[in-house]
Amino acid sequence: MVSIAEVTRIILIGCGATLLMDIWLVFLKRIGVQTLNLAFIGRWVGHVFHGRIAHESIGKASPVVHETSLGWVTHYAVGIAFAFLLTGISGVAWTRAPSLGIALLVGACTVVFPLLVMQPAMGLGFAASKTPTPIKNCLRSLINHSIFGFGLFLSACVIEWIVR
């Protein structure tokens, strides 16, 4: 059984990894690269709660109350869920002795969720196939999720350092 302290640690690792990804996305935005719009994530989730999963274009779908806030909460909740996935695969002991390889692998593999679930549901097609530059967008997503994977490792290291 996982203790409250271990659950707390996993939650903090997920938040830290998501924060590192957000810092990366802010950097990309500042150099002119289009990045994730969390309002659209919130809009999609809001519509899911009302029974609509797929959209022709999430940008043209009716706005949802507090969609930006819902997008941020969803973004961090998913990051936490992926941290639990990592510890489910590698064991909770990983949080006390993190290794980079499994964190990067899990981070990179999480790209499956946006490419095969969220993008199609938002009207962008499987693996961004309905966008003007699908390969570029897929590579960008893979890099972003690899940064998240590095964030899992870095967050676990920082938390372990603080706890010691």
Where in the sequence is the domain holding 35, given as residue range(s)?
A: 4-163
Report whether 21 contacts 148 (CB < 8 A): yes
Residues of the chain predicted below pLDDT 70: none
- Please, where are the H alpha helices in 91-129? 100-109, 112-113, 119-121
What is the maximum span of the chain, computed from C-alpha positions, in angstroms?
Answer: 51
Q: In whole angstroms, give the CA distance from residue 51 to residue 12.
A: 31
CB 63 within 8 A of CB 43: yes
Specify the pLDDT at position 19.
98
Query: 94-140: per-residue pLDDT in tens?
Result: 999 999 999 999 999 999 999 999 999 999 999 999 999 999 999 99
Number of domains in the chain: 1
pLDDT, residue 121, reads 97
Write down the pLDDT at residue 36. 85
